[in-house]
Amino acid sequence: MVDLIGCMDRLSYRFKDDSLLHRALTHSSLAVEQHRMGEDNERLEFLGDAVLEHLVSRYLYDTHPEMREGAMTRLRSSLVCEGALSAAARRLGLGEYILLSRGEEQCGGRDKDSILSDAFEAVLAAVYLDGGLEEADRLVQAYVLSAETLENRTSSKDSKTAFQELIHADHKGRTIRYELVGESGPDHKKQFTMRVMVDETEWGVGYGPSKQAAGQAAAQMAMERFKQTCD
């Protein structure tokens, strides 16, 4: 038996139809083992993938007006990839609630990235079906779009280093610096604005939930501009 109440506590959400959560936590290996084909989380995972992409796309569109399509696509991909979602599932403690076959359990399935990421998408879909888009968005904001996650994902691209290498490849003596332009919002949801200067010329402006994330976004915008000038 799975502790649905415990899982709901982790999610900070009470299901009206807890059979949705039970289905979301049921891995296909258990459905096969118990001869209950189709009673697993794969269809919910399919829906959750679409809900997640929509919510992340809307967030990036609303909060990063400086980003070009290509940059938004790359950042979205890094936020919804298997590694990112399995990390979100681990922070949520989802692994202990997943229903697995005996064989999958013995093979360490409870900590497999593929199983965890699929379960996260399935649970997201279950929350969406039971509570609507607002509740699904709350879950995504907490575990996929948190300030820490965004900073790590944006930093992993290391746009600052890439931009520095682009500039210094042709202009070794030029100075690059990042300046805080402004900040807004309440303390728990700050939005920072940074700009990147090359010598005395502004090359890009970026926004983000931290100075580091905003600086990376500014560097990304500057790289897009640099590439346009070279085309």
Q: In this structure, how many other beta carbons lie within 10 angstroms of the beta carbon of residue 64?
A: 21
Give the span between the Cα atoms of 211 and 124, in whole angstroms. 30
CA distances from 42 to 17, 29, 127, 145, 151 (A): 18, 11, 15, 24, 30
Q: Which residues are catalytic?
A: 49, 121
Dihedral of alpha carbons 140, 83, 91, 112, sign: positive
Strands (E), the chain: 176-184, 191-198, 201-208
Identify the residue whose tokens are 């992993």: 156
Dihedral of alpha carbons 70, 73, 76, 81, sign: negative
